[in-house]
Amino acid sequence: MKKFQLILALCMTCLPAFAQQGVDMADTMRSEGKIYVVVGVMAIVFTVVLVYLVLLDRKIGRLERKIRNRAGT
């Protein structure tokens, strides 16, 4: 009886694992694959956008100062 209970308990613990195996996920890509390359590419894209925003921000700041100085004199 005890043995049977043990087997039953073991089977139960396996159930979630079986349920998960049915769905395809890119596990290999992340464990040993190249998902970090994708992270890197997206980070670069976002960095480029950010740098552009910063440059615009600074350019507008310079223009604002220029106009403020001109108005002051």
Partner 1 sequence: MMRYVWKIAAALLVYYSLVAGLTGEVPRMAILNETIRNIYFHVPMWFTMMALFLVSLIYSLKYLSGSSPDHDLVAAEAARVAMVFGIAGLLTGMLWARFTWGAWWVNDTKLNGSAATMLVYAAYFILRNSVPEKQKRARLSAVYAIFSFSLMIVFIMVLPRLTDSLHPGNGGNPAFGSYDLDSRMRAVFYPAVAGWILVGLWILQIRIRTRKLENTVSI
Q: Which residues bind partner 1 (CB under 8 A)?
A: 20, 22-26, 30, 35-36, 38-39, 42-43, 46, 50, 53-54, 56-57, 60, 63-64, 67
Q: Nearest to residue 48, comparing CAs of 60, 38, 56?
A: 56
Which of 7, 66 has the CB closer to partner 1? 66
Which of 15, 23 has the CB closer to partner 1? 23
Instruction: Evaluate whether 24 touches 30 at the Cβ level (below 8 Å).
Output: no
Distances in Å between the Cα of 7 and the Cα atoms of 21, 32, 46 are: 21, 34, 52
Which of 7, 58 has the CB closer to partner 1? 58
